[in-house]
Amino acid sequence: MAFYQEVKQLISDALHAPLCSITNIQQVGGMTNLNFRVTIQDKEFVVRIPGKGTVGMINRVNEFENAMIGYEIGINVKQEYFNKETGLKITAYIDDAESLTRQSARQHENIKQVADILRKLHYSGRVMNNAFDVFAEIELYEHLINQKGGTYLEGYEAARHELFLLKDYYESIPIELAPCHIDPVAGNLIKTRSGTLYLIDWEYSGMCDPLWDVGVFIEECGLSIEEADLFMTSYFQREPTLVERERILLNHIFQDFLWSLWSQVKKADGEDLGAYGDMRLNRAKNKMAQFFEMINGEDVG
């Protein structure tokens, strides 16, 4: 009960609303942060309180500015309040909307709509002030783990060596950076009954290889081969080239490796995610083997 009183006080201070006007606080889903559905004077809002371990990992100024780009091009909800120091965020609750799930995201209509929304972002011509560099992020997470006295997963060092061999190969491919969301998982896509789709939670956003976003949606929603083909042809508006398929696979590998490391940052902050990190690291290893086989044993070192 005391915790919910603290939440009410945070909201009251942010919106200058009387405590008595803040009612019906319900915690809702979220892996990184604490999220609440809140009623304030008969209007509903979603309140995001940053979770453990996000300090040092997330630049809140970048998040705010990039989320504004998303709102301005019509793919993100309006931010009613955003604290660039603490990361406290309040947005209006969309009454007739619900988050996509791994199952609903795989419906053909939604696959095509997600492809459209990512194209709208990537080809918007907007420039974000920061870049998302997965290798810089890896080094940042390693620094945080070491700083916090955390531990690494078994087999991490060998996997890291192979990953950085792939880094050289990847960076030899000409890539034009674009504004990216970085985390377009099903839970960050909300759809209204009228069919409007929004992409929310821009914490990791920045200029990046746009096929990072494409890879995230395919991987995190568990698209089948046929569904992935539909998504890619909808996104590219043609068949993807061999090089584009390679880039998507490489980004799958980088994503799994990075989020396995992220799990250890969370563990160092006292939040144990169980087998999540091992699953992601093992999948990265398997996909690295798949990639080396895909390029017929070509030496990338």
Q: Is 208 helix (H, G, I), strand (E, B) or coil?
A: strand
Looking at the structure, tell me whether residues 217 and 261 fall in a common domain: yes
Q: Is the pLDDT of residue 128 over 50?
A: yes
Number of domains the chain is built from: 2
Q: Which residues of 99-129 are buried (b: 16+ CB within 10 A; e: fewer)?
A: bbeeeebbeeebbebbbebbbebbebeeebe
Q: Residue 206 has which token pair? A: 């920045």
Q: With respect to residue 233, please indicate whether it lies within any of the assigned structural domains.
A: yes
Looking at the structure, tell me whether residues 47 and 125 fall in a common domain: no
Q: What pLDDT is stored for residue 20 in this prediction?
A: 83
Q: With respect to residue 300, please indicate whether it lies within any of the assigned structural domains.
A: no
pTM here is: 0.89
Q: What pLDDT is stored for residue 167 in this prediction?
A: 94
Looking at the structure, tell me whether residues 75 and 102 fall in a common domain: no
Q: What pLDDT is stored for residue 200 in this prediction?
A: 95
Looking at the structure, tell me whether residues 261 and 156 fall in a common domain: yes
Q: With respect to residue 158, please indicate whether it lies within any of the assigned structural domains.
A: yes
Final residue of a domain: which of 50, 73, 93?
A: 93
Tell me the CATH number at 44.
3.30.200.20
Looking at the structure, tell me whether residues 152 and 83 fall in a common domain: no
Taking CA atoms, 108 is separated from 189, 232, 261, in Å, by 15, 12, 33
Which range marks the domain in which residue 39 is found? 2-93
Greater confidence, 225 or 23?
225
Final residue of a domain: which of 93, 119, 138?
A: 93
Tell me the CATH number at 282.
3.90.1200.10
Q: What pLDDT is stored for residue 299 in this prediction?
A: 47
Q: What pLDDT is stored for residue 33 in this prediction?
A: 77
Looking at the structure, tell me whether residues 72 and 220 fall in a common domain: no
Q: With respect to residue 8, please indicate whether it lies within any of the assigned structural domains.
A: yes
Looking at the structure, tell me whether residues 36 and 73 fall in a common domain: yes
Q: Is 34 helix (H, G, I), strand (E, B) or coil?
A: strand
Q: Is the pLDDT of residue 158 over 90?
A: yes
